[in-house]
Chains A and B, each alone.
Chain A
């Protein structure tokens, strides 16, 4: 009975994480299109939301990697998955509150790794899987996005450099409708699958799915797609400002190159099953598109702050995950621990959002 209660809590917590993921990552998807005035903010966010939903149905390879690639599935219990999720949500909320782009994906995997290590020991963490499926792709992806965007903008300027700027900008603003859409689709493809992987892992831990027949049920796909779409629709203004204008001022051609490079990298990673961070990739793309025009155009100080957030995410979320698992253990192995932590988390979230809403009313951000 308590196993069923914990499973229900885990599924709702995972979907809540998916909402915060969409909320947190909206900026990655729409910031460049809004900052270059290719799209007004609200329609951009609405379209991104729909495309995130659609993207979640394209592939399931990343869900497989998240479910099987980092921890020993036999060591995972529903409480461990719950603790990992809460660790990730806590880190997402903290970075969102301070306007710092971090990686929701790395927060999720960090939380899961931390809670598994706390519950079953470090040997239950697949170090080579973590290195090969997460850390190395995480380091490589922003560099690939940087190079792709940099080369793209050089090619673009080579072709259109001598044309009248007015029509050229209008052309690339139209192009950004497509590149934004592709980026949103790729985000749904890669990020929604992480939640699918975690829910499926919980179903395996619960015994609803045999460990040797790991597969993502259709209802999990639909629920995860819906959650990320709802989160994306809710938006994340603070991070939009950081990504859209503070890293580098962009023209529409640069925005097109940055988004195109980001979408290409995320879709290529999804096809091989790497759970990438859209934040890492689009930040790399933005910097590449900026540096391709003029290296000094990139505000490297802001970029440095973002890199600090990336480096902190995995260990910080792991620590949070481990702490939540330990705290939950204080209440025994039943459903009491997860229930108490869920109530405390909901209260903390309510207080945070109320405070943010008050601040937003005091200083509204215009589109």
Chain B
């Protein structure tokens, strides 16, 4: 490696940006789904509560998948 490798810098930048914002977004969906599900349960709206809980679970699964895929990709490249 020598001088400034713009391609590597760019790759680092967009990978970090997509991974960081992506994980924050999908985990926020988890929090949103779980909190709204709890609200709906208190109002005895069971179908809505189940739907929000499903959204939360999907967000949680996506968060876990993003983290695991990121680590696997890192380990494979190195």
Interface residues of A (CB under 8 A from B): 58-61, 65, 69, 126, 128-129, 131-133, 136-137, 140-141, 144-145, 147-149, 151-153, 155-156, 159-160, 163-164, 167-168, 171-172, 175, 178-179, 182, 185, 189, 256-257, 260-261, 263-265, 267-274
Closest to A148 in B: B20
Closest 9 CB pairs of A and B: A59-B78, A171-B31, A152-B24, A264-B20, A148-B20, A159-B28, A268-B15, A268-B16, A264-B19
If A58-B71, A65-B1, A149-B20 touch, whether A175 touches B12 (CB-CB below 8 Å) is: no
B35 touches A163 (CB 8 A): yes
Which of A58, A145, A256, A268 makes the CB contact (< 8 A) with B78?
A58
Residues on A with C-beta less than 8 A from B15 are: 264, 268, 271
* Interface band, chain B: 35 or more
Residues on B with C-beta less than 8 A from A141 are: 12
B1-30 vs A, CB cutoff 8 Å, 1 = contact: the mask equals 111110011011101110111011101111
A167 touches B12 (CB 8 A): no
Q: What 16 additional pairs, Cβ within 8 angstroms, besides A148-B20, A172-B27?
A: A58-B74, A58-B78, A128-B3, A132-B5, A144-B13, A149-B20, A151-B21, A153-B24, A167-B34, A260-B24, A263-B20, A265-B16, A268-B13, A269-B12, A271-B15, A272-B12
**Measured CA separation A163–B35 after assembly (Å):** 7
CB distance from A244 to the nearest CB of B (A): 20
**Measured CA separation A60–B23 after assembly (Å):** 25
A155 touches B24 (CB 8 A): yes
CB distance from A315 to the nearest CB of B (A): 20
The yes or no answer to B67 lying at the interface (CB within 8 A) is yes
Which of B21, B36, B78 makes the CB contact (< 8 A) with A148?
B21
**Measured CA separation A341–B53 after assembly (Å):** 63
- The number of inter-chain residue pairs (CB within 8 angstroms) is 148
CB distance from B37 to the nearest CB of A (A): 10
CB distance from B61 to the nearest CB of A (A): 13
**Measured CA separation A155–B24 after assembly (Å):** 7
A144 touches B16 (CB 8 A): yes
**Measured CA separation A312–B30 after assembly (Å):** 43
If A61-B78, A149-B20, A268-B12 touch, whether A128 touches B35 (CB-CB below 8 Å) is: no
Which of B17, B24, B38, B67 makes the CB contact (< 8 A) with A257?
B24
CB distance from A67 to the nearest CB of B (A): 12
**Measured CA separation A61–B1 after assembly (Å):** 11
A260 touches B23 (CB 8 A): yes
Residues on B with C-beta less than 8 A from A152 are: 20-21, 24-25
B4 touches A136 (CB 8 A): yes
B16 touches A164 (CB 8 A): no
A270 touches B38 (CB 8 A): no
If A156-B24, A268-B15 touch, whether A132 touches B35 (CB-CB below 8 Å) is: no
Residues on B with C-beta less than 8 A from A179 are: 23
Which of B4, B16, B78 makes the CB contact (< 8 A) with A132?
B4
B17 touches A147 (CB 8 A): yes
